[in-house]
Chain A
Amino acid sequence: MSDMQTQTGEPLLRIEGLTKFFPVSGGKRLFAVNKVTLEVGKGETLGIVGESGCGKSSMGRTILKVYEPNEGKIVFDGKDITKLSRKKMLPYRKRMQMIFQDPYASLNPRLTVGDIIEEPMTIHKIGTPASRKAKVQELIGVVGLKPDHIRRFPHEFSGGQRQRIGIARTLALEPDFIVCDEPISALDVSIQAQVINLLERIQKERGLSYLFIAHDLEMVHHISHKIGVMYLGHLVEYGDADEIYKRPKHPYTQALISASPVADPKSAREKHRIILEGEVPSPLDPPPGCPFSGRCPHVRDECRQILPDMYDYAGRKVACLQYSPKAQGITLQ
């Protein structure tokens, strides 16, 4: 995938050991994102899946420096932006944008659609008022809305249309990288596909990169080139989307994929479901060792003591001791 690299050979975005914790009462720390390392190439979509509270949204926000990272490095287009000041961050903000989950809460109800789409350009002082208006006209068309929608207010639109408005606003600054934070979760099934197709079309036309956060595994598999699976703030499996979806290696990924209901009665009847015991533990009180050890059907004693690294295995990275070089050496013998 040579065209997915920038000219310098660097991926568009690289994060290394990114950590974000929130101090909570009692002097404790809640680790929302825990030493996550991953890359997003140019024109590529990285899907992030995981259950609620696993830190996937926090990670998206930390990458955009909405939250200041506590540890680790964010490298965007070859430049380390981890420690940049607000002011120095501005040119990068233009290139890194976000689409939010709730199209009802993320649009200002007092602004017209035209104002909403124009606002980012005004803030970043791009173009003249006339050229901005022309840009708004263009974007409205790109996302499949009608020109007479420009003077209307958000409340006049349905969820899917609002999400289109949000996408138009995001595109106003012509970003290279967009964090899509559950962009379809709030939408009806028939509308979800419209938004997904729109995102895919825009990506093809403009060579955008997406970090696509969602909990719908089928949709993430559909839209992503690579997938990262998160559990309790940790990235537990990361690699090619098809590989992970069809041949998951981490016990959590296996359970997640087997548990997600398939809209196909025959395969649903044949499918062997791995039903996990219990629920996701509180991130305030994670188990020692591997975060998944408390629910893992293959748990061994060492899992409760050692936090696994991301090991290279079967063309991907897996954070599970059964794939550690040591374990692999043993199985080979």
Chain B
Amino acid sequence: MSLLEVRNLTTSFKTDQGIVTAVRGVDYRVEKGEILGIVGESGSGKSVGMFSLMGLLADNGSVTDGTITFDGEDITPPRGTDRKGRSAYEKKMRAIRGNKIGMIFQDPMSYLNPILTIERQLTEGIRCHLKYDKKKAREYAIELMGMVGIPNPKTRLRQYPFEFSGGMRQRIIIAAALACNPKLIIADEPTTALDVTVQAQILELIQKLIKNTEAGVIIITHDLGVVASLCDRISIMYGGRIMEEGTADEIFYDPKHPYTKGLLGSIARETGDEKEPLKPIPGTPPDLLKMKDGCPFAPRCEEAMVVCVDHNPGNTEFSGTHRCSCWLHCMEKVSTVAAPGDGADDAAGGVGAPPPKGGGTGGRTDDKHERLVETGGGKAARPHQAGDAQAGVGDDAGPGPEKGGPAVGRSEQPVEAAAEKEPRHNKGHHAAFAGLSKIFGKGVAAHV
């Protein structure tokens, strides 16, 4: 069993402008002793996902779907406003936060209270969770400060946060996060506020300390350089969804998703003697208020097809660790695609293996994807087709007059029909969930 398993996590915020769904059906797992990197740009939902799992969302935010299992315990925040459920959840989380799950935040100055001494802040968790008395807690705090490389811990313990530099403050936070021997450590942009040479110190410290524990670690960052050297596995997030997940080597040397490829093309990398021109991703990050059900990257994707706009692709598995959520790869590997009808059944029945079925449904799936290939295949013809087809899909009209039209119209029918049964906003998640449950089914089986 995984240390942490998050399934189909969905988090929304009520704002004056409308409901913003910052995390849209995200799945991940962390094993013991493993470092998972979550990479995304601002607004991709990478931090909100963590706050959701810690139960630290702002008042206007709530987890609207999904389950979170940590160390065998269900820590999914209760939905609705049931007072009893909420207070029971709060009680449970108080025992977990800072104890079984340690957190390292981006900005050490706003995390530390400026009017309390370091001793007070560092021993608070120790006294609360480990039930140490004041003297023992202080001794332990001194030991911790030495461990994270703060000179003169005895004197430094009596000082206030403003007397520490940025790097030293971050060390204190790391000490506090590790104090209770947590099983899981979440580091949200741990080095973003630091200078390069100090960043190197902190990353080395994190790496060294983690080696000595069995803890699982999640590192959230926008810096591909940080994850490259530190993480075992990497999840790439965009627009509240996970676009691709794999080992560091799989992500950097064999990226599958156009967004991952775009990110890697956007950074200046040393490759041979020649400076390669940067290949930026056109367009701008999505407006979370105006998101459609389809792939969030579709508006900026150079390989976007008609299906991408309104339908979220299922996951395609490339290896035990590498999966990607993109229609391009669904075409290659028809069998792993979650056609909502069959996929949902699979999920409900708990069927793990995703081989193509010989029966009627399987035939339909194959047929469907043949059509998709047809639709998106011709790059040159795409703009023309896309225009027609979008209209066709949008108003559910019958076959259009163009060649591309009928194919799209028909190919979309199973998806649309299945979606009719579900509330509209759930459609995409449902598809994703169906695909993922297969993967998780396998993953869990392998682990047990």
Decide if A261 touches B229 in the complex (CB within 8 Å). Answer: yes
B322 proximal to A (CB < 8 A): no
Which of B5-13, B65-73, B89-97, B193-201 contacts the other chain? B193-201
Which of A67-75, A118-126, A167-175, A274-282 contacts the other chain? A274-282
Which of B99-107, B272-280, B308-316 contacts the other chain? B272-280
Decide if B269 touches A194 in the complex (CB within 8 Å). Answer: no
Instruction: Please report the C-alpha to C-alpha distance between residue A264 and residue B253 in the assembled complex, in whole angstroms.
Output: 8
CB contacts (< 8 Å) of A215 on chain B: these are: 195-196
CB contacts (< 8 Å) of A160 on chain B: these are: 284
Number of B positions contacting A (CB below 8 A): 44
Decide if A193 touches B284 in the complex (CB within 8 Å). Answer: no
Instruction: Please report the C-alpha to C-alpha distance between residue A219 and residue B267 in the assembled complex, in whole angstroms.
Output: 8
CB contacts (< 8 Å) of A266 on chain B: these are: 249, 253
Instruction: Please report the C-alpha to C-alpha distance between residue A267 and residue B281 in the assembled complex, in whole angstroms.
Output: 25
CB contacts (< 8 Å) of B262 on chain A: these are: 190
Counting chain B CB atoms within 10 Å of each CB, the highest count among A158, A219, A263 belongs to A263
CB distance from B233 to the nearest CB of A (A): 12
Decide if A259 touches B41 in the complex (CB within 8 Å). Answer: no
Instruction: Please report the C-alpha to C-alpha distance between residue A263 and residue B236 in the assembled complex, in whole angstroms.
Output: 14
Decide if B203 touches A218 in the complex (CB within 8 Å). Answer: no
Of the four ranges (under 10, 10 to 19, 20 to 34, 35 or more), the interface on chain A belongs to: 35 or more
**Chain B proximity mask over A55-82: 1 for CB below 8 Å, otherwise 0:** 0000000000000000000000000000
A52 proximal to B (CB < 8 A): yes
Instruction: Please report the C-alpha to C-alpha distance between residue A196 and residue B201 in the assembled complex, in whole angstroms.
Output: 29
B256 proximal to A (CB < 8 A): no
CB nearest to A217 among chain B residues:
B196
Decide if A273 touches B204 in the complex (CB within 8 Å). Answer: yes
Known: A190-B41, A191-B284. A268 touches B229 (CB 8 A): yes
Instruction: Please report the C-alpha to C-alpha distance between residue A143 and residue B307 in the assembled complex, in whole angstroms.
Output: 32
CB distance from A43 to the nearest CB of B (A): 17
CB distance from A167 to the nearest CB of B (A): 15
Known: A261-B226, A263-B224, A264-B228. A218 touches B267 (CB 8 A): yes
Decide if A193 touches B248 in the complex (CB within 8 Å). Answer: no
CB contacts (< 8 Å) of B265 on chain A: these are: 193
A20 proximal to B (CB < 8 A): no
A189 proximal to B (CB < 8 A): yes
**Chain A proximity mask over B148-165: 1 for CB below 8 Å, otherwise 0:** 000000000000000001
Decide if B198 touches A264 in the complex (CB within 8 Å). Answer: no
Known: A51-B196, A190-B41, A215-B196. A265 touches B204 (CB 8 A): no
Counting chain A CB atoms within 10 Å of each CB, the highest count among B263, B265, B266 belongs to B266
CB nearest to A54 among chain B residues:
B195
Contacts beyond the supplied A190-B262, A193-B266, A261-B199: 5 A-B pairs with Cβ under 8 Å: A51-B198, A52-B195, A192-B266, A222-B278, A279-B167
Pick 10 A–B contacts, CB within 8 A, sort by A: A158-B284, A188-B222, A190-B41, A258-B200, A261-B200, A261-B229, A264-B252, A265-B253, A268-B228, A273-B204
- A-side interface residues toward B, CB under 8 Å? 51-52, 158, 160-161, 188-194, 196-197, 215, 217-219, 221-222, 255-256, 258-269, 271, 273, 275-276, 279-280
